[in-house]
Amino acid sequence: MRSPPHVAALVVAAGRGLRAGGGIPKQYRLLAGRPLLSHAVGTFQHHDEVGTVLVVIGDGDDDLYREAVPDPAKMLPPVTGGAERQASVLAGLEALVEAAPDIVLVHDAARPFLSAALIGDAIAAVRNGVVAAVPGTPVVDTIKAVDAAGNVVATPDRAGLRAVQTPQAFVFPALLEAHRRAATTGVAGLTDDSSVMEWSGHAVTIFPGDAGNVKLTLPEDFDAAERRMWVAMNDVRVGQGYDVHAFTDGDHVWLGGVRIPHDRGVLAHSDGDVVLHAATDAILGALADGDIGTHFPPSDPQWRGASSDRFLAHAAGLLAARGGRLAMLDVTVVCEAPRVGPHREAMRERMAAILGVGTDRIAIKATTSEKMGFTGRREGLAALAVATVRLPGE
Ligand code: MG
Q: Exposed (0-12), middle (13-18) or buried (19+): which is 106, by Cβ within 10 Å?
A: buried
pLDDT truncated to tens, each residue of the chain (394 aa)?
Answer: 778 899 999 999 998 766 666 678 899 998 887 899 999 999 999 899 999 999 999 999 999 999 999 889 999 999 999 989 999 999 999 999 999 999 999 999 999 999 999 999 999 999 888 999 999 999 999 999 999 999 999 999 999 999 999 999 999 999 999 999 999 998 888 889 999 999 999 999 999 999 999 999 888 999 999 999 889 899 999 999 999 999 999 999 999 999 999 999 999 988 999 999 999 999 999 999 999 999 998 888 888 878 899 999 999 989 987 889 999 999 999 999 999 999 999 999 999 999 988 899 999 999 999 999 999 999 999 999 999 999 988 7
At 3, which amino acid appears?
S
- Per the CB < 8 A criterion, the answer to whether 279 and 385 are in contact is yes
Distance 33 CA to ligand 1 centre (A): 27
Distance 351 CA to ligand 1 centre (A): 16
Distance 100 CA to ligand 1 centre (A): 49
Q: How far apart are CA 212 and CA 113, in angstroms?
A: 7
Which residues is 260 bridged to in the sheet? 253
CB neighbour list of residue 325: distance below 8 Å, 6 or more residues apart: 32, 33, 230, 233, 319, 357, 389, 390
DSSP calls for 324-338 = -EEEEEEEEEE-SSS
CB neighbour list of residue 295: distance below 8 Å, 6 or more residues apart: 284, 311, 314, 315
Reported pTM: 0.76
Q: How far apart are CA 312 and CA 318, in angstroms?
A: 10
- C-alpha closest to that of 222 among 61, 33, 13, 10: 33
Distance 243 CA to ligand 1 centre (A): 5
At 37, which amino acid appears?
L
DSSP calls for 272-308 = --HHHHHHHHHHHHHTT---HHHHS-TTSGGGTT--T
Distance 274 CA to ligand 1 centre (A): 5
Q: Which residues make up the environment of ion ligand 1, defined by Cβ < 5 Å?
A: 243, 277
Q: How far apart are CA 332 and CA 335, in angstroms?
A: 10
**Phi, psi (rounded to 5 degrees) for 261:** -60, 140
- C-alpha closest to that of 70 among 30, 32, 35, 112: 35
Distances (CA, A) of 237 to 71, 285, 287, 332, 390: 25, 9, 8, 19, 6
Distance 379 CA to ligand 1 centre (A): 15
